[in-house]
Amino acid sequence: MEVSSTLAEWAIAHRRHIHQFPELSGQEWETHQYIKKHIQDLGLEILDYQAPSLVAFLPGTDGTKTIGLRSDIDALPIQEEGEKTCISQRSGVAHVCGHDGHTAILLSVAKWASENRYRIKPNLVFVFQSAEEMGPSGAEALIEQGLLELLDEIYGLHLWQPLKKGKIGLLSGSMMASSDEFELVIHGSGGHGALPHETIDPIFVASQVISGIQSIISRKINPMEPAVITVGKVVAGTTYNIIPHEATLYGTLRAFTNEVREWLPIELERVAKGIAEAYGASISFKLLRGTPPVINDSNVSEFVKQVIVTSFPAKTYETIEPSMAAEDFSFYLQKKPGAFLFVGMNSEKSSYPHHDPRFDIDEESISMAIRFFCELILHQE
C-alpha cells in the first residue's frame, strides 16, 4: 500500500502541533487530551488505562490475534535551538528526540485503520505511552495495569537520525542496551590542602576509582560482549585549599544482556571498595535501576524483515549494529514477543543527533513509518 499525500500531510500537521506544545515525562496532560480527541473522532474505543498514557482499541475482522503498536509521547527538558519549520513554544522543554513524530505516526495509522477496518484481521491496540525519557517508566506503569494481558505481540519504532533516510533497520536479539545509574560516595577525611598527609583525600581516591573501574570493561568482560561504565558527574569540595570529607561519583551502566547487566554493578562496587580501602577510605554505593536491554524476538524479527523485504523497495531493509542507547520498550519485550526497529531519517534536513537542541525530524520519513505499520497490520494472519 502507499501512504496518500492527504494522510502524510495530516500526519505532518499533527506532528508540528505536538512539537510546538511539548510536555515532560509524566506531565503530558494536554498531549493526552489532544490524542484523545482525535482517537474519539476516528471512532476507536479508548480503554481504561491511567492518563497521561492513552490506549485505544480497534477490533479486527478475525480477532483471534491482538497486536499492540506503541508510540512514546513525552519531550525533554532542553531549550530548543535552530531555525526550523516549527519550534517549541515552551521554554526549556522540546521534542528533540522524535516522539512528536512517533505520536503523529501512530495517530495516522489509527486513522488509516479506522478507514480500512474490513481489511484488518487482528485486533489492534494503539499505545500512546507516557514517560519514556525519564522514570518512572510509562511502559512499566501500563504493564502493571495489565496492558500485556490483552496482547499476543507488540511492535514499536523510532525515527532514527543515525540511519540513512529510506532505510528501515532491525536487529534480531539484543538491539539496544540496558541503562542503569549509580551513585558512589567515597568517604575520606578532610583537612588543609597544604597538609594532605594528615587527610584521606577522597578526590584523589575518586580519581583512582574512575580509572580503576574501567578495568572491569577491559579485563573482566569478554571483549565480544559490549558494555559501558561512564562517570558523568563528580561532586566534591568547596574551594581550592580544602580537602573535603567526601567525593561523589554519578554514572551510567550499559549492557546488552541481562546477565551482564546484573553482574556489572556488583563488580563495580567490589572494585571501587577495594581501591578505596587501599587508601584508607570507604564507600557507599547506590544503584538506580533503569531499563533492561531491548531484545527482539527472533521469530517476530524474521516476520518483520519479510514484511519490509516484500513491501518496500530493494535495499530498504538493513541489519543494523546494536546501539548503546536505551528504550523502555524493552519492558514489553521482557514479557511478550515483539520487535523494535529504526526508521532512518539521516539527511540534510536531519543532521543533528537525538537530544541535541538543534535536532529536527526529516518529515519525509514519516510516510515510510506509517506505511511500515500499515503493511505490518496487513501481513498479519
136 and 13 both lie in a single domain? yes
Predicted confidence at residue 242, as pLDDT, reads 98
Predicted confidence at residue 381, as pLDDT, reads 83
Q: Per-residue confidence at 146, pLDDT binned at 50, 70, 90?
A: very high
Q: Average pLDDT of the chain? A: 97
Query: Domain range spanning residue 371?
Result: 5-176+294-378
169 and 238 both lie in a single domain? no
- Choose one of 241, 263, 291: the last residue of a domain: 291
The residue annotated as part of the active site, out of 23, 72, 80, 132, is: 132
What are 37's three cell numbers?
480527541
Predicted confidence at residue 279, as pLDDT, reads 98
349 and 209 both lie in a single domain? no
256 and 149 both lie in a single domain? no
The residue annotated as part of the active site, out of 74, 133, 269, 363, is: 74
Q: Per-residue confidence at 212, pLDDT binned at 50, 70, 90?
A: very high
Residue 86 burial by CB count (10 A; 0-12/13-18/19+): exposed, middle or buried? middle
Q: Is the preceding omega at residue 136 within 30 degrees of 0, hence cis?
A: yes
56 and 172 both lie in a single domain? yes
Q: Bridge-partner residues for 173, per DSSP? A: 296
Q: What is the CATH number of the domain that holds 348?
A: 3.40.630.10
81 and 100 both lie in a single domain? yes
35 and 63 both lie in a single domain? yes
Predicted confidence at residue 205, as pLDDT, reads 98
Task: Report whether 327 contacts 291 (CB < 8 A).
Answer: yes
Q: What is the CATH number of the domain that holds 230?
A: 3.30.70.360
**Above 90 in pLDDT, residue 243?**
yes
> Residue 37: which residues within 8 A CB-CB, separation 6 or more?
none
234 and 194 both lie in a single domain? yes
**Rounded distance, CA 6 to CA 4, Å?**
5
Q: Write out pLDDT tens, residues 76-132.
A: 999 999 999 999 999 999 999 999 999 999 999 999 999 999 999 999 999 999 999
Predicted confidence at residue 87, as pLDDT, reads 97
Q: Is the preceding omega at residue 162 within 30 degrees of 0, hence cis?
A: no
Enter the DSSP assignment of 148. Answer: G
b/e for 228-242, b at 16 or more Cβ within 10 A? ebebeebebbeeeee
251 and 202 both lie in a single domain? yes
17 and 81 both lie in a single domain? yes
**Above 90 in pLDDT, residue 1?**
no
Task: Report whether 79 contacts 139 (CB < 8 A).
Answer: no
Number of domains, the chain: 2
- Choose one of 271, 291, 311: the last residue of a domain: 291
Q: Write out pLDDT tens, residues 31-84.
A: 999 999 999 999 999 999 999 999 999 999 999 999 999 999 999 999 999 999
**Above 90 in pLDDT, residue 231?**
yes
Is residue 74 part of the annotated active site? The answer reads yes
Q: Is the preceding omega at residue 52 within 30 degrees of 0, hence cis?
A: yes
Q: Write out pLDDT tens, residues 164-174.
A: 999 999 999 99
Summarize the confidence of residues 287-306 as an average pLDDT. 98
40 and 163 both lie in a single domain? yes
Is residue 132 part of the annotated active site? The answer reads yes
133 and 151 both lie in a single domain? yes
Look up the pTM and report it: 0.95
Q: Per-residue confidence at 214, pLDDT binned at 50, 70, 90?
A: very high
- Choose one of 291, 322, 354: the last residue of a domain: 291
